[in-house]
Amino acid sequence: MTTRTEATAPCRVDLAGGTIDIWPVYLFHPGAVTVNVAIDRRAWCRVETGVEGVHLESKDTLQKASADSVTELLVNGNLSLVSHVLRALGVEEGVRVETQSRVPAGSGLGGSSALAVAVAGAVCAALGRAVEPDRLWPVLRDAEARTIEVPTGAQDYQPALRGGVLGVHLEPGEIRVEPLGVDPARVEESLLLVDGGETRFSGLNNWDVLKGQIDGDEGVREALATISSVAQRVRAALVEGRFEDVVDLVAEEWEARKRLAPGVTTPNIDRIAEVARGAGGAAKVCGAGGGGVMAVWAPPGARGRGRREAVEEALSDAGFRIFPARVDLRGLEVG
Do 122 and 69 have their domain in common?
yes
* DSSP state at residue 289: S
Do 196 and 164 have their domain in common?
no
CA dist 154 → 26, 138, 190, 238 (Å): 10, 8, 25, 21
Do 312 and 253 have their domain in common?
yes
290, pLDDT greater than 70: no
Q: Where does the pLDDT of residue 26 fall: very low under 50, low under 70, confident under 90, or very high at 90 and above?
A: very high
* DSSP state at residue 36: E
Domain boundary among 180, 214, 230: 180
Do 10 and 157 have their domain in common?
yes
Do 219 and 156 have their domain in common?
no
- What percent of the residues of the chain are helix, what percent strand, and what percent coil, each to the nearest 5? 40, 25, 35
- The Cα–Cα gap between 135 and 292 comes to 30
In a domain, 77, yes or no: yes
- Range(s) of the domain holding residue 154: 4-180
Backbone angles phi, psi at 109, to 5 degrees: -100, 15
In a domain, 334, yes or no: no
Do 166 and 194 have their domain in common?
no
CB under 8 Å to 315, separation ≥6 — which residues?
192, 194, 272, 275, 276, 279, 296, 322
- The Cα–Cα gap between 296 and 257 comes to 15
Percent of all residues in the chain with a pLDDT value above 70, rounded to a whole number: 97
Do 88 and 211 have their domain in common?
no
Q: Where does the pLDDT of residue 76 fall: very low under 50, low under 70, confident under 90, or very high at 90 and above?
A: confident
In a domain, 80, yes or no: yes
In a domain, 85, yes or no: yes
For the segment 140-197, what is each residue's pLDDT rounded down to a tens digit?
Answer: 999 999 998 888 899 999 999 999 999 999 999 999 999 999 999 999 999 999 988 7
Domain boundary among 157, 180, 203: 180
Backbone angles phi, psi at 247, to 5 degrees: -55, -55
Please tell me the predicted confidence (pLDDT) of residue 203: 55
Do 174 and 199 have their domain in common?
no
For the segment 103-137, what is each residue's pLDDT rounded down to a tens digit?
Answer: 877 888 999 999 999 999 999 999 999 999 999 99
In a domain, 298, yes or no: yes
Total Cβ atoms within 10 A of residue 100 = 17
Do 196 and 132 have their domain in common?
no
- The Cα–Cα gap between 195 and 271 comes to 12
Do 123 and 239 have their domain in common?
no
Q: Determine the angle formed by the axes of helices 218-239 and 202-215, rounding to 10 degrees.
A: 110
In a domain, 91, yes or no: yes
In a domain, 333, yes or no: no
Residue 71, Cβ density class (10 Å: 0-12 exposed, 13-18 middle, ≥19 buried)? middle
In a domain, 202, yes or no: yes
Residue 281 φ/ψ region, left for φ over 0, alpha for ψ in the -120 to 50 degree band, beta for the rest = beta
CATH number at residue 205: 3.30.70.890
CATH number at residue 96: 3.30.230.10
Tally of domains in the chain: 2
202, pLDDT greater than 60: no
Domain boundary among 180, 202, 224: 180
- Omega of the bond leading into 24 within 30 degrees of 0 (cis): yes
> Is the distance from CB of 195 to CB of 222 less than 8 angstroms?
no
Lowest mean pLDDT among 116-130, 193-207, 285-299: 193-207
CB under 8 Å to 324, separation ≥6 — which residues?
188, 191, 192, 193
Do 165 and 99 have their domain in common?
yes
What's the pTM value of the predicted model, to 2 decimals? Answer: 0.94
Please tell me the predicted confidence (pLDDT) of residue 199: 64
With CA atoms as reference, report the closest residue to 13 among 193, 152, 240, 241.
193
Do 176 and 53 have their domain in common?
yes
Alpha helices in the chain (DSSP H): 70-76, 80-88, 111-126, 133-148, 157-162, 184-190, 202-215, 218-239, 245-257, 267-278, 307-317
Question: How many angstroms separate the first and last alpha carbons of the chain?
Answer: 18
Sign of CA dihedral 103, 70, 203, 155: positive
